Amino acid sequence: MTLDNILEEIKKANSIVIVTHESPDGDAIGSSLAMELALRSIGKKSDIIIPEYPRIFNFLPNAKNVKDKSDLKKYDLAISLDCTDLRRINGKEYFEEAKRTIVIDHHGTNSMYGDINFVNPVAPACCEILVGMFTYFNIDINQEIGTCILTGIITDTGGFKYQSVTAETFEFTAELLRKGVNVSEIYQTALETRTMANFQLLKKTLNRMEILENGKVTFTYITNQDETEVNAEPGDHEGLVEIGRDIEGVEISILLRQKDNEDKYKVSMRSKNYVNVSDLCYIFGGGGHPKAAGCLVQGTVEQIKEKLLREIRKVL
């Protein structure tokens, strides 16, 4: 059984590193921090490497343990959480150098790049996979671990509103409430608080937003210059792509974010009902979930818009 193998690898390892995807969101952060706490509770020390840690997640119990990099280059074991493929890992050198590797994820497009892969595309969040895993390992999900896990679940489900949410999600949340996890604090901090830079970026994206394809697609973008102007920090673009999708009649929303001051953009896509944006992004070398996905595309804003629309028209 894969879970037994995972526990065996953890027990064998003298040094463990935890990594996750670039532009880490609440699920990436929550699952990484929960893993560190869980390992510690069974006597295993581990390093969490998350460059670009978004400051809104500073409220999490072990946020202070997060590092940008490590002096140790070769770990016995690397655990990747919430990340579809090797290229997307922030700090992938630690994963590549590690003697053994484990991948835990909930993306259907996961490329199974670990020695052991535990991927469940039905789980609404990587954090929810950890609930079952820790329970199997007999690790007590205490208030601290629960806070990290629930942060991932709340952010990846948009506050329990996506169809991926199951009865178990609520049952588990109820259990955590009984253990003293502050659900409303997590909700407010991780989901409803906007940084000033995020608000300034929101104004820019709204001003530029185009409504295309008879009102079924919205398109907008931010450049490196925008991010400099508003003193954006990692995570400050969160939530911008969803704004377009929430407009009546819109099926797909698109946000472009410039990469490294060149003609290269990180594309984020969301869909509302029937379009699988993971399939669309896959065409451009990316992927994700059916209703939330991304890819990296070369070109100017206009060129990329045309490239994307050509594919989008086929599925609208």
State which residue, 126 or 252, has the beta carbon closest to Mn ion. 126
- Contact between 26 and 152 under an 8 Å Cβ cutoff? The reply is yes
CB of 174 to Mn ion, least distance (A): 22
- Residue entry with tokens 């978004």: 54
State which residue, 107 or 257, has the beta carbon closest to Mn ion. 107
Element (H, E) at 226: helix 224-229
DSSP string, 27-86: HHHHHHHHHHHHHHHTT--EEEE-TT--GGGGGSTTGGGEES--S----SEEEEES-SSG
Q: How far is Cα 55 from Cα 201, in angstroms, rounded to an integer?
A: 17
Choose one: 74-82, 221-229, 260-268, 269-277; the region binding Mn ion (CB under 5 A).
Answer: 74-82
Binding mask 129-168 for Mn ion (x = CB under 5 A): ---------------------------x------------
CB of 92 to Mn ion, least distance (A): 18
CB of 23 to Mn ion, least distance (A): 12
CB of 207 to Mn ion, least distance (A): 30
Q: Can you tell me whether residue 116 is helix, strand or coil?
A: strand
Residues 6+ apart with CB under 8 A from 298: 263, 264, 304
CB of 262 to Mn ion, least distance (A): 28
CB of 157 to Mn ion, least distance (A): 10
# chain residues binding Mn ion, by CB under 5 A? 4
Choose one: 19-27, 177-185, 225-233, 298-306; the region binding Mn ion (CB under 5 A).
Answer: 19-27
**Exposed/middle/buried for residue 199 (C-beta within 10 Å: 0-12, 13-18, 19+):** exposed
Choose one: 38-46, 81-89, 113-121, 160-168; the region binding Mn ion (CB under 5 A).
Answer: 81-89
- Residue entry with tokens 């007999």: 138
State which residue, 60 or 126, has the beta carbon closest to Mn ion. 126
27 lies in the site for Mn ion, by CB under 5 A: yes
82 lies in the site for Mn ion, by CB under 5 A: yes
Among 107, 153, 108, 112, which residue's Cα sits nearest to residue 130?
A: 153
State which residue, 223 or 276, has the beta carbon closest to Mn ion. 276
DSSP code of residue 91 = T
State which residue, 158 or 299, has the beta carbon closest to Mn ion. 158
Residue, CB closest to Mn ion = 27
Q: Can you tell me whether residue 218 is helix, strand or coil?
A: strand
Q: How far apart are the first and last CA of the chain?
A: 42
Q: How far is Cα 89 from Cα 23, in angstroms, rounded to an integer?
A: 10
State which residue, 124 or 146, has the beta carbon closest to Mn ion. 124
CB of 71 to Mn ion, least distance (A): 29
CB of 126 to Mn ion, least distance (A): 5
State which residue, 42 or 122, has the beta carbon closest to Mn ion. 122
Among 68, 25, 61, which residue's Cα sits nearest to residue 47?
A: 68
128 lies in the site for Mn ion, by CB under 5 A: no
State which residue, 126 or 297, has the beta carbon closest to Mn ion. 126
Amino acid, single-letter form, for residue 95:
F
In the complex, the residues that contact Mn ion under the rule CB under 5 A are: 27, 82, 126, 156
